[in-house]
Structure 1
């Protein structure tokens, strides 16, 4: 066990103890020798200022009861595994398309993490480039729009912006009460209550510009209502579910389809012949069919009839592009 981990664990044991913790118990918990326990206790008391008291019979240690609640370890105390996880998270942010917006704010934290790791590793550099993040389908974001939306969400303020619909290309002015930011398939969305339409909507952040927050407080929509409207059906622009889709995957694709999380309410089962049957709620068919049709001949829409017919039309149109 690394020294940082031992000191952190020692602090937790002593701060939680109501009676002295025996020397033998500390040797076992810290997985170290008797001499190491004494050195760590001395470091905790003399260097970090912990209110450590010594017990002679039996030999052990505890915190002074009057000071225990007020004492905390100074600075940032994390284990090597926790630091490695933070570095990996930083790489994820940096390479997933978000780092450009959050990088400046997070850079001091990364520098501090690098410093702590270097101290633990005797100056050795950690090869963070070996944490590989590959983004796919990430859209360009306007930095000002992202920050305005994030600020309005967290500060609970209304937001005005110009929105360019992807499907029609039309531009409209919106005034909304932001509810939450959603990161979905490598892209950011703003879930909000649209005051003009008096309804909940999801806005793709890459289609927002001229965002301007107001001083007026945002309306808070209950979390359960947000989930019912925005997360109860398949896809990002879901809305309340209109029907349940049944899709059957071939035996060759069954393992892949079964291990994917399609929806929080999905129902799946393996059929006797090795195929996999998936049922899930949906409102808009477009995104669902895009994901089903990527399996090609290994996926078949069974129900409802309207969704099956739409899948057939899309496949015929696609085949027509090849002169078939």
Structure 2
């Protein structure tokens, strides 16, 4: 068994073990490897985001956090190819890096034959990579993080006329319309909700200040064709 197959097998063994867990010695005996190899494998799973932790004491061992993991999910090669196409088409857009990380996790947990079929199918889907990213990667990262953490953002913004201003805003949502992405936020300078084009935000910095929530109905009515992602 190669390492990729073993990592997948160890992950599923720990998942099935539930609260009982497995010791490093038990895993080493099951997979016919050394305890040191098991510890390296578990460390690799942890670094990949799999919620496994070491329980100390007489009944110690490796245990999966059941509340932080999904039950086994089967993806078809076509489903994985669709995810890969969506992630590629979203290159340079909000939460691009998170989408790529999620796709990597899906690929890492697929059995090797299914992963090979999905990769081969995805290679038959072409996308044009010349699309302009919506804003600087660092700016997008700050906007995404502040929106998730509900923190005030300090912006340096250049409007359509070229005027540059510094503002503090309470981020509310991200919207895509007219071929551009916007941060919809309550602007503390203007004391009103404003739409900031991501590609016109020259700098963005998170603050430790909690953001004020604005009810969605006060932001305005979305276009009839608009819809949330979730």
Q: State if a TM-score over 0.5 links the two structures.
A: yes
In structure 1, C-alpha distance between the alignment counterparts of 2:82 and 2:16, rounded to whole Å: 29
User: Offset of 1:215 from its aligned partner?
Assistant: 1.2
From 127, 139, 142, the equivalent of 2:121 is 127
8 Å CA contact 1:146, 1:205 repeated in 2: yes
User: Offset of 1:151 from its aligned partner?
Assistant: 1.1
**Pairwise mapping of residues 114-263 of structure 1 onto structure 2 (< 5 A)?**
114-121=107-114, 123-124=116-117, 125-134=119-128, 138-166=132-160, 168-228=161-221, 231=222, 263=224
In structure 2, C-alpha distance between the alignment counterparts of 1:197 and 1:211, rounded to whole Å: 18
User: Offset of 1:121 from its aligned partner?
Assistant: 3.3
User: Offset of 1:96 from its aligned partner?
Assistant: 3.1
In structure 2, C-alpha distance between the alignment counterparts of 1:151 and 1:122, rounded to whole Å: 31
8 Å CA contact 2:134, 2:181 repeated in 1: no
In structure 2, C-alpha distance between the alignment counterparts of 1:111 and 1:141, rounded to whole Å: 24
In structure 1, C-alpha distance between the alignment counterparts of 2:199 and 2:93, rounded to whole Å: 15
8 Å CA contact 2:154, 2:166 repeated in 1: yes
In structure 2, C-alpha distance between the alignment counterparts of 1:152 and 1:71, rounded to whole Å: 28
Pick closer, same or farther for the CA change 1:97–1:119 going to 2, 3 Å. closer
SS in structure 1 at match of 2:154: strand
**Pairwise mapping of residues 21-40 of structure 1 onto structure 2 (< 5 A)?**
none
8 Å CA contact 2:146, 2:152 repeated in 1: yes
In structure 2, C-alpha distance between the alignment counterparts of 1:49 and 1:172, rounded to whole Å: 57
From 52, 77, 89, the equivalent of 1:95 is 89
Gapped regions of structure 2 (runs ≥ 5): 1-11, 19-64
Give the greater-gyration-radius structure (CA): 1
8 Å CA contact 1:160, 1:176 repeated in 2: yes
Pick closer, same or farther for the CA change 1:136–1:199 going to 2, 3 Å. farther
Pick closer, same or farther for the CA change 1:86–1:226 going to 2, 3 Å. farther
How many pairs does the alignment contain?
Answer: 166
In structure 2, C-alpha distance between the alignment counterparts of 1:206 and 1:189, rounded to whole Å: 8
From 64, 73, 79, the equivalent of 2:74 is 79
In structure 2, C-alpha distance between the alignment counterparts of 1:75 and 1:199, rounded to whole Å: 41
SS in structure 2 at match of 1:48: helix
The two structures, once aligned, show a CA RMSD in angstroms of 3.6
Pick closer, same or farther for the CA change 1:178–1:87 going to 2, 3 Å. same
CA distances 1:220-240 after superposition (whole Å, capped 9, x unpaired): 001222233xx25xxxxxxxx
8 Å CA contact 2:156, 2:201 repeated in 1: yes
8 Å CA contact 2:186, 2:192 repeated in 1: yes
Pick closer, same or farther for the CA change 1:205–1:159 going to 2, 3 Å. same
In structure 2, C-alpha distance between the alignment counterparts of 1:130 and 1:157, rounded to whole Å: 42
What residue in structure 2 maps to residue 248 of structure 1?
A: none
In structure 1, C-alpha distance between the alignment counterparts of 2:190 and 2:93, rounded to whole Å: 33
Pick closer, same or farther for the CA change 1:107–1:135 going to 2, 3 Å. closer
CA distances 1:269-323 after superposition (whole Å, capped 9, x unpaired): xxxxxxxxxxxxxxxxxxxxxxxxxxxxxxxxxxxxxxxxxxxxxxxxxxxxxxx
User: Offset of 1:145 from its aligned partner?
Assistant: 0.8
In structure 2, C-alpha distance between the alignment counterparts of 1:140 and 1:94, rounded to whole Å: 14
